[in-house]
Amino acid sequence: MFPYRIKGTYAEFYGYVPLTVKVGDTVELDADKRRMNIYDSHYGLRVTYVLINTDDEDWEFVRRHTMFK
């Protein structure tokens, strides 16, 4: 599963986000480098890597919950 979808100003990310990410944090996804940069006022910059998911159960979850219908 490709890890995100964008249409206009709306985006969905289909992957795992660290539990420390909070509403208001800035998250930048660099798909070419498969990297996510997370900025917040407490920790500064944190970097995590993005994996492409092939799990059928996760695909089904995305199909049921996507806003892109």
Domain with 28 in it: 4-65
Residues 22 and 34 sit within 8 Å (Cβ to Cβ): no
pLDDT of residue 18: 82
pLDDT of residue 39: 92
Stretches where the chain sits below pLDDT 50 are none
Number of structural domains found in the chain: 1
- Strands (E) across the chain are located at 4-7, 10-13, 26-30, 35-40, 44-49
pLDDT of residue 60: 87
